[in-house]
Amino acid sequence: MTDLSKEIPEQGAGQGPDGADGPAPEPLLKVTGLVKHFPITKGVLKRKVGAVQAVDGLTFDVRPGETLGVVGESGCGKSTMGRLITRLLEPTGGKVEFEGRDITHLSTGAMRPMRRDVQMIFQDPYGSLNPRHTIGGIVGTPFKLQGIQPEGGVKKEVQRLLELVGLSPEHYNRYPHEFSGGQRQRIGIARALALNPKLVVADEPVSALDVSIQAQVVNLLDDLQKELGLTYVIIAHDLSVIRHVSDRIAVMYLGKIVELADRTSLYESPKHPYTKALLSAVPVPDPSRRGGKSDRILLKGDVPSPIKPPSGCRFHTRCWKATEVCRTTEPPLIQLAPGHQAACHHPENVPDQSAQTAAVTGGASEAGTTK
Amino acid sequence: MSDVQKPDTEKATTGTGAAAGSAGADEKFLSVRDLRIHFDTDDGLVKSVDGVSFDLKAGQTLGIVGESGSGKSVTSLGIMGLHNSERARISGEIWLDGEELIGAGTERVRKLRGQKMAMIFQDPLSALHPYYSIGAQIVEAYRVHNAVDKKTAKKRAVEMLDRVGIPEPARRYDDYPHQFSGGMRQRAMIAMALVNNPQLLIADEPTTALDVTVQAQILDLIRDLQKEFHSAVVIITHDLGVVAEIADELLVMYAGRCIERGSAEKVFYRPQHPYTWGLLGSMPRIDREQTDRLVPVKGTPPSLINVPSGCAFHPRCPYADVPKDNITRTERPELRQITDGHFSACHMTPAERERIWTEEIAPKL
Ligand SMILES: Nc1ncnc2c1ncn2[C@@H]1O[C@H](COP(=O)(O)OP(=O)(O)OP(=O)(O)O)[C@@H](O)[C@H]1O
Ligand SMILES: Nc1ncnc2c1ncn2[C@@H]1O[C@H](COP(=O)(O)OP(=O)(O)O)[C@@H](O)[C@H]1O
Ligand code: SF4
Ligand code: SF4
Ligand SMILES: [Mg+2]
Ligand SMILES: [Mg+2]
């Protein structure tokens, strides 16, 4: 389905290096039908009684130099997706290709060289740094793991990295507890950059930080991308942050991508009702809107369990537009406008899709309705 | 205090009994004067709250904002009388409906808590006991303050669960906290806090752990309940978007101090303190044109043990050199009124602030 997107000229919205003319470049990362189910077992025999369908069929590309933002509510599978594409988790199904090479099931050994190219930054600046190691030790770990001796020695290189992320080289011998949350996040970023990666997957890199510090780290990520030509996948639940940092954005709901679009297109003209509801729920720092329930879409209830996701469109239990076809037939993620895909039978801002989408899926009920 | 309340029929109950000069609906219901809460620790004296004052009327919402560690939670726990008196040194005055609480005995404050004032926390699991059913806990909270039989209390609990939007409340009554989702637990805690129709509700980061769609539901709920019961609400958050949604008045804290206070409109549209400018510049805004770059506040939040001299914000303030004679570094700025009901603690003159605001800050926001 995503192949459609190849015919679409680049949308000028992002400042990615590929914004110029010519065909879209080869994706750096290509993900097709990615699935991760965590088995639920019971009793001493570990009998399998079900599965958490954390990620259930994701298809998307990440283009060189761009930032792909991934948003969605808690538990929708963002972190699982991040850990799958960095191969910290083994996929249950689907395919992950990096620079054209299938890395879906590479062994740990075969993955090692690849690890240099793909790095991850974690949400929790407290838990992700070993409290007993010095900053120098932490940032220098990747060299040790990869058996690499940088020019001028590890210490010099680590100090260069510390400066790069706005810390002082003198911090080399200090310990994580001596640093604030924002500084710790910088340490995590320095470590991720040690091996000169091509792709950095950042899982909620600023969620744990105060707004003033969050802005420092957002700007730092931005500077580093420009300076080092990095490609980012940034996972976050904050739609204001995601809009600021991303060129393109994937919206996830219960293990699926429900909408994937250029930033401007997504925020100005969301197609999926869930995206529309999410955007309308963002609190805006403008008191003139106070109490104005007018344009706010209040969704009913909570996100259903990924153990037993709803049939058809997974959003139908909370969607105000749901019809019979939504309950029975899963809408495929299809192109509804240039650079804009959504999975919905009755999308916003474009003609109704129920006839077409039902035809595409041929009414076949997809996996994930029972078990 | 009347012992038995009739929640169904009550609207804005005004206190009766003990307190002389009980506040009417238009007067200050909560009045905090020069509140200081310091803790003795091995590392030194932590000045978590260091001179905070504000007033709040019934039916109004005050938002307290500030970075983590700025003293928001310590302030709210102080009002609720929840600090350990052995460890916390508390001074100043807290007037609730005409009654001073810091000087009042712990027994008296305990009586008021859960009845006249109630609190909801960021983490509902800290307020809900894992071994008792949701219903039993709400019943308990009700019966502590109301001499009613179990059946009446249960009816009341189911009613509250219904009121906060728990589907099938009679059936969910017997559920345990772990059987509820995060949003439902937050609702259950709100039900428990409101079961006695408190006239003051303090909500400390009530939606921080929630997803935006659930956050919108909870803010809506708090707003509706407040309208219905005409209570005073203090909402504590680090999210300026959340306060803009719900607060009438705003108090900005920095390093245990109030650095700006005023109506939400004034503080958002005409902020009068460089730290408030910094907060507004730091946040990406979904309601505005995309900006290229955020404007962060440089540096890191201060230690509350060695609070910077003079203006606590001076090491991070881009305008620290504007006021004359280096006064910013030596003298603590007092909270001064700028326009009616709008206060700021900054040494700059109104003219200096006005120039910087119009030339440098406003164009970038
Ligand atoms: N190791 C695991 N075993 C079983 N279930 C898991 C495991 N890891 C994640 N899950 C489940 O998979 C689903 C997706 O989890 P994931 O951590 O990817 O969500 P998320 O979108 O990152 O959420 P958040 O915003 O809260 O970080 C959740 O239901 C989660 O409980
Ligand atoms: N019981 C305590 N003993 C010592 N220090 C405390 C105690 N409670 C809070 N503090 C300190 O007081 C400061 C303000 O804390 P708090 O009010 O929780 O901040 P926030 O604004 O994030 O709610 C912090 O530096 C915190 O570490
Ligand atoms: S497919 Fe149906 S239920 Fe799903 S989002 Fe679209 S309208 Fe709503
Ligand atoms: S008093 Fe000085 S340091 Fe403090 S906010 Fe005003 S200008 Fe900045
Ligand atoms: Mg996550
Ligand atoms: Mg707090």
Q: Tens of pLDDT along B200-224?
A: 999 999 988 888 888 888 898 899 8
Ligand nearest the Cα atom of residue B254? 2
CA of A203 relative to ligand 2 center, distance in Å: 28
Alpha carbon of B75 to ligand 5 centroid (Å): 31
CB B45 within 8 A of CB B2: no
Q: What pLDDT, on a 0 to 100 scale, did the predictor assign at position B163?
A: 87
- What pLDDT score does A22 carry? 54
Q: Decide if pLDDT at B19 tops 60.
A: no
CA dihedral A183, A185, A190, A195 (to 10 degrees): 170
- Ligand with the closest atom to the CA of B272: 4
Contacts of A73 in chain B (CB under 8 A): 211-214
Q: What is the pLDDT of residue B201?
A: 96
Query: Across the interface, do B241 and A282 touch by the CB < 8 Å criterion?
Result: yes
pLDDT score at A181: 84
> Which residue's CA lies nearest to atom 19 of ligand 2?
B69
Distance from CA of A149 to the nearest CA of B (A): 33
Strand B61-65 relative to strand B232-237, pairing:
parallel
Question: Rounded mean pLDDT of A281-303?
Answer: 80
Give how far the C-alpha of residue A171 lies from the chain's centroid of Cα atoms, to the nearest Å.
31
Whether the per-residue pLDDT at A114 is higher than 90: the answer is: no
Q: Which residues of A touch B222 (CB under 8 A)?
A: none
Say which residue, A293 or A250, is predicted with more confidence. A250
Tell me: pLDDT of B84 over 80: yes
Q: Is the pLDDT of residue A354 over 90?
A: no
**Average pLDDT of A1-15?**
40
Q: What is the pLDDT of residue B15?
A: 36
B window 53-82, beta carbon within 8 A of A: 67-68
Whole-angstrom distance between the N-terminal and C-terminal Cα of chain B? 49
The CA distances from residue A62 to A14, A232, A234, A262, B118, in Å, are: 13, 8, 11, 12, 49
Show the tokens assigned to A281. 């729920």
Nearest 5 degrees, angle CA B241-CA B247-CA B249? 120
Residue A357 pLDDT grade (very low, low, confident, very high; cuts 50, 70, 90): low
Q: Which residue of A has its CA nearest to B302?
A: A180
**Chain A contact for B288, CB < 8 A?**
no
Domains and CATH numbers, chain B: 26-259 (3.40.50.300), 271-286+294-364 (no CATH)
- For all residues of chain A together, what is the average pLDDT? 87
Question: In the block, which residue shows the tokens 């129920």?
Answer: A354
The pTM for the full model equals 0.87
The reported pLDDT for the residue numbered A253 is 97
Q: Which of A241, A277, A283 sits opposite B244 (nearest CB)?
A: A283
Is the separation of the CB atoms in A24 and A277 below 8 Å?
A: no
- Give A39-65 pLDDT, tens digit per residue: 988 888 888 888 999 999 999 999 999
Rounded average pLDDT over A133-160:
93
Position A358 confidence tier, pLDDT thresholds 50, 70, 90: low
The alpha carbon of residue B136 and the mean position of all alpha carbons in its chain are separated, in whole angstroms, by 28
Which residues are registered as beta bridge partners of B203?
Answer: B120, B235
- Give, in order, the Cα–Cα distances in Å from B342 to each of A46, B49, B267, B337, B338: 64, 21, 8, 6, 6
The structure tokens 């650079």 sit at A339
Cβ-based neighbour number of residue B212 at 10 Å: 22
Structure confidence at residue A95 (pLDDT): 97
Q: What is the pLDDT of residues B252-307, one digit of tens each?
A: 999 999 999 999 999 999 999 999 999 999 999 998 888 889 999 998 888 899 99
Q: Residue B25: pLDDT band by 50, 70, 90 thresholds?
A: very low
Let me know: does A303 contact A256? Beta carbons within 8 Å: no
Q: Does B168 touch chain A (CB under 8 A)?
A: no
pLDDT digits (tens, 9 = 90+) for A198-218: 999 999 999 888 888 899 999
Task: Report the C-alpha gap between B251 and B357 in whole angstroms.
Answer: 19
Query: Which chain B residue has its CA at the smallest distance from A296's CA?
Result: B216
* Residue A360 pLDDT class (50, 70, 90 cuts): low
Mutate to test the pocket of ligand 1, among A36, A40, A52 (most ligand atoms within 8 A of CB): A52
- Which of the four pLDDT bands, split at 50, 70 and 90, describes residue B308? very high
The answer on pLDDT for A16 being more than 60 is no
CA distance A266 to A249: 8
**Closest Cα in chain A to B266:** A287
The span from the CA of B141 to the CA of B156, in Å, is 11
* B275 or A356: which leads in pLDDT: B275
B303 token code pair: 């230690």
- Which residues of chain B have a CB within 8 Å of the CB of A213? 67, 296-297, 300
Nearest CA in chain A to B213: A281
Is 80 exceeded by the pLDDT of residue B199?
Answer: yes
Q: What pLDDT band is residue A76 in, cutting at 50, 70 and 90?
A: very high
Question: According to the model, what pLDDT value does residue A314 have?
Answer: 97
d(CA B290, CA A240): 10
The predicted pLDDT at position B292 comes to 84
Residue with CA closest to ligand 1 atom 8: A80
pLDDT (average), residues A267-294: 87
Query: What are the pLDDT digits (tens) for A120-144?
Result: 998 777 778 899 999 999 999 999 9
B212 touches chain A (CB under 8 A): yes
Angle (CA) B343 B344 B348, round 5°: 135
Q: Is pLDDT at A13 greater than 60 in this prediction?
A: no
Phi-psi region of A64 (alpha: psi -120 to 50; beta: other; left: phi over 0): beta
- Percent of chain A residues topping a pLDDT of 90: 63
Model pLDDT, residue B26: 53
Question: Band of the pLDDT at A98, cuts 50, 70, 90?
Answer: very high
The alpha carbon of residue A115 is apart from the nearest alpha carbon of chain B, in Å, by 31
Mutate to test the pocket of ligand 3, among A275, A345, A352 (most ligand atoms within 8 A of CB): A345
The residues near A347 (Cβ < 8 Å, ≥ 6 apart) are A271, A272, A273, A336, A353
Task: Test B212 with A243 for CB contact under 8 angstroms.
Answer: no
Distances (CA, A) of A11 to A14, A21, A242, A314: 7, 10, 18, 29
Residue A199 DSSP class: E
Q: Which of A36, A38, A305, A308 to mutate to test the pocket of ligand 1 (most atoms within 8 A of CB)?
A: A38
Give the 3-state secondary structure of residue B67.
coil
Mean pLDDT score, B54-82: 95
DSSP notation for A209-236: S-HHHHHHHHHHHHHHHHHHT-EEEEE-
Residue of B71, B38, B90 whose CA lies nearest to B302: B71
Burial class (CB in 10 A: 0-12, 13-18, 19+), B353: buried
Report how far ligand 2's centroid is from the alpha carbon of B232 (Å).
24
Instruction: Say if residues B244 and A284 touch (Cβ distance below 8 Å).
Output: yes
- Residue A355's pLDDT is what? 75
Q: Tell me how far the alpha carbon of residue A334 lies from the centroid of ligand 1, in angstroms.
A: 26
Average pLDDT over residues A285-306: 80
Q: How far apart are CA A175 and CA A178, in angstroms?
A: 6
Nearest-CA residue for ligand 3 atom 6 is A344
Q: What is the CATH number of domain A2-41+48-246?
A: 3.40.50.300
CB contacts under 8 A, B 266-285 vs A, are 268-269, 278-285
Tell which wins on pLDDT, A347 or A26: A347
C-beta separation of A188 from A224 below 8 A: no
Average pLDDT in the B101-126 region?
91
Per-window interface: A 101-120 vs B, CB < 8 A: none
**Residue A328 scores a pLDDT above 60:** yes
Contact between A218 and B244 using a beta-carbon 8 Å cutoff: no
Tell which of A74, A178, A212 to mutate to test the B interface (max B CBs under 10 Å): A212
* A285:B68 CB<8 A: no
Contacts of A92 (CB under 8 A, 6+ apart): A35, A36, A37
Angle at CA of residue B199, ends B194 and B205, nearest 5°? 60
Tokens coding B187 = 């609702």
How sure is the predictor about A320, in pLDDT bands with cuts at 50, 70 and 90?
very high
- B227 and chain A in contact, CB less than 8 A: no
Contact check, Cβ <8 Å, A296/B216 = yes
Q: Are A36 and A236 within 8 A, CB to CB?
A: no
Check pLDDT > 90 for residue A258.
yes
**CA B332 remoteness from chain centre:** 24
Residue nearest ligand 1's atom 1 by CA: A38
| CA nearest to B70, candidates B22, B37, B103 | B37
Query: Which DSSP string do the residues of A222-279 spell out, in sequence order?
Result: HHHHHHHT-EEEEE-S-HHHHHHH-SEEEEEETTEEEEEEEHHHHHHS--SHHHHHHH
State yes or no: pLDDT of B49 exceeds 60: yes
B147 contacts B4 by C-beta, under 8 angstroms = yes
Q: CB–CB of B158/B172 below 8 Å?
A: no
Model confidence at B105: pLDDT above 50:
yes
Q: Chain A residue closest to B248 (CA)? A: A287
- Which residues between 201 and 260 in chain A have a beta carbon less than 8 angstroms from any beta carbon of chain B? 210-216, 218-219, 222, 237, 239-241, 243-244
Residue B27 pLDDT class (50, 70, 90 cuts): confident
Beta-bridge partners for A38 = A52
A307 Cβ under 8 Å from any chain B Cβ: no
What is residue B280's predicted lDDT score, i.e. its pLDDT?
A: 94
Domain segments of chain A as ranges: 2-41+48-246, 256-284+291-370
pLDDT classification of B57: cutoffs 50, 70, 90: very high
What pLDDT is stored for residue B24 in this prediction? 47
Helix H segments across chain A? 78-85, 108-117, 135-146, 154-164, 181-193, 211-228, 239-245, 263-268, 273-281, 324-328, 354-361
Tokens 């503080």 belong to residue: B267
pLDDT higher than 70, residue B240: yes
For strands A231-235 and A199-203, give the pairing: parallel
pLDDT value of residue A7: 40
- In this prediction, residue A20 carries a pLDDT of 44
CB-CB neighbors (< 8 A) of B284 in chain A: 215, 218, 240-241, 243-244
